[in-house]
Amino acid sequence: RAQSLGQKPEFYNTLSNTCTTNLVRHMEKVYRVERVEDWRVVFPGYADSLAWELGLVDFDGTLEEARERLRARLVSVMADPALWSRAIRGGEKP
């Protein structure tokens, strides 16, 4: 799909074509779930709670603990530009 955007561009739409809506549509295909109709798809700041409820977050603990762990990981990776570069390309994790 990403390669086809060069030939047939798509335009951002606040309600129907955002980073979050695209991720949700891909997730529906990968996990073979029915169409996700939830207000959190439109408000990306809440998408993590939707993913948590759908069982897509692999973490033993609460949602708040998972959020804090991610914050700590991001801070450590962002402090080292070389580590950040490897991390965003799917390489080693801090």
E strands, 7-73, in order:
none
Q: What is the DSSP letter of 69?
A: H
pLDDT band at 90 (very low <50, low <70, confident <90, very high): low
pLDDT band at 28 (very low <50, low <70, confident <90, very high): confident
| 33-43 pLDDT per residue, tens | 788 888 988 88
pLDDT of 92 reads 57
Helices 81-88, 63-78: inter-axial angle, 10-degree rounding? 120
Secondary structure (DSSP) of 51-64:
HHHTT----SS-HH
Closest among 24, 26, 48 to 36, alpha carbons compared: 24
Closest among 22, 25, 47, 49 to 36, alpha carbons compared: 25
DSSP three-state, residue 17: strand
Its pTM stands at 0.60
